[in-house]
Structure 1
Amino acid sequence: MTTTSGIPTTMRAAVLHGPGQLSLAERPVPEPGPGEVLVRVEAVGTCGSDVHYYRHGRIGDFVVREPLVLGHEAAGTVVACGPGADPRRMGRRVSIEPGTPCGSCGECRPGRYNLCPDMRFLATPPVDGAFCEYLAVHQDFAHEVPDCLTIEDAALLEPLSVAVWACRKARVAPGDRVLITGAGPIGLVTAQTARAFGAREVMVTDVLPHRLAMARAAGAAALDGLGRTAAGRRVHPHRPPGVLRRPRGQRRGDPYGGPGRPGGPRRHGRRRDPAPAEPGAEP
């Protein structure tokens, strides 16, 4: 194993024991296996899934039955390389892709690893996550980031990838009108991404005033539960925009509806030039 000096033998980790029961614990620093790198974690985002596990101890069938480290939106610096990993990765800043597929199933072999039924996803029981000081991940899922990004920016590339996938899946194009239901963090970053894709108008709905205010600050037209803007204007009922929505039925192995996975956003509405279906996409 190739390492930098100064790697301790133990590390701190934030461990969830049950709903509302979080503690700091000392755990061994993991040793990177074949093809893996050891990342010194420097920034981690808090996803809505982390909040659900903290508050309720479960998301659907995914139940915290034993101590679990949360966090899957992570970035840091490579400090060690396992056998077979590229030693040139040492010292590189990386954003971590949190899902690790089996690599050998009928979905992985053709390149659709995001649909792997045996996906191991960080901070999804029983797989520990990134609220810790060091994390061993396969080098293919530690993506180098340019110097123009801060390490906090790098940690947020994972939720940004959800928004980019949503806009690609919905085929958002210049001049489109887009409706996003829900002004949570993913809804807001999707609104900004849709604008970057060229949408001429982005509307976001929610029932919470502070979230609607955030949507307006992000440059979207914020609509309340009755379809009204802050000025009381209603969206024209005969001119429906395209829709990005997040259904609830994600397949087993991905409770979050991440990039490229079934159960993600869809776009509804008229298009001038329907694009062909993506390989492996659901009908």
Structure 2
Amino acid sequence: MYSVRQASAADLAGVRAVANRFGNLSGWPQRPDYLDREMANGRLHAGFAGDAVAGFGATFARGGLLHLADLFVLPEHQSSGLGRSLLESLLPRDAPRVTFASSDPRALALYVRQGMRPVSPLLYLRGPLDALPGHGSRPAAVTPTEIAGLDADVSGGRRAADLAWYAGLPGVSAYRLGDGYAMARESGGVLLVGPAGGRTTQACADAVLAVLARHRAAGAARLCVFGPNPLLPLLLAARFTIADLDQFLSGDGDPVALDRYLPHPDLG
């Protein structure tokens, strides 16, 4: 017997166990992590097989846009209808909504049946920083408030509280260069860049490359890049490799600037 409801603090250990089965917390070495943020500022629903957590889903809001950040069901409970129930409880069909679908064809089909459409591949890149070209401009360290407007322009809606929460974590910095911005986190010897973007594709590229140059001592970096972003071929030419691939789906037009926005893998 399956059921779905808003997750409580008592359910979080079960949610974390599901997340760990899929390796979702590998990039979050300490708490608070993105699941804590989903619990505090998003909508986190748990799916149960009897009394045990068998799956979970969560959304973040960016203005009027809903980003489905998570939808995971344990393998032994997949194809049971639990994933569909979680999705229906989180995403109204009449709401602007986006998500990153895994490579599992069943997940893609589930989202399409819910009225979403595949728009672009989202590539997870990882590579060394020593092969990137130098950048003549140094980005300015700023507060999250100073980049909130730029982020809203490219990501589909304003989320000042989420940016401030992320900036408050150890190792996280926010930068601005002209009409571009980027947030970066050094953790475990790797620099994670995102969210990042700009009012133009050039402003986006300049900001990201300047931040990568500023943190060259980190040695390696990870980024999420949509297929149309002109940074993609540049990074691949600099010995970055594609570590994973998702499909970006949207349920209402094209609210995200695919050619000048780099999302955070967990915060969207």
Q: TM-score, normalised by structure 1?
A: 0.25
Higher relative CO (CA 8 A, sep ≥ 6), structure 1 or 2? Answer: 2
The structure whose residues are more often strand, as a share, is 2
Largest Rg, 1 or 2: 1
Q: Flag the structure with higher helix content.
A: 2
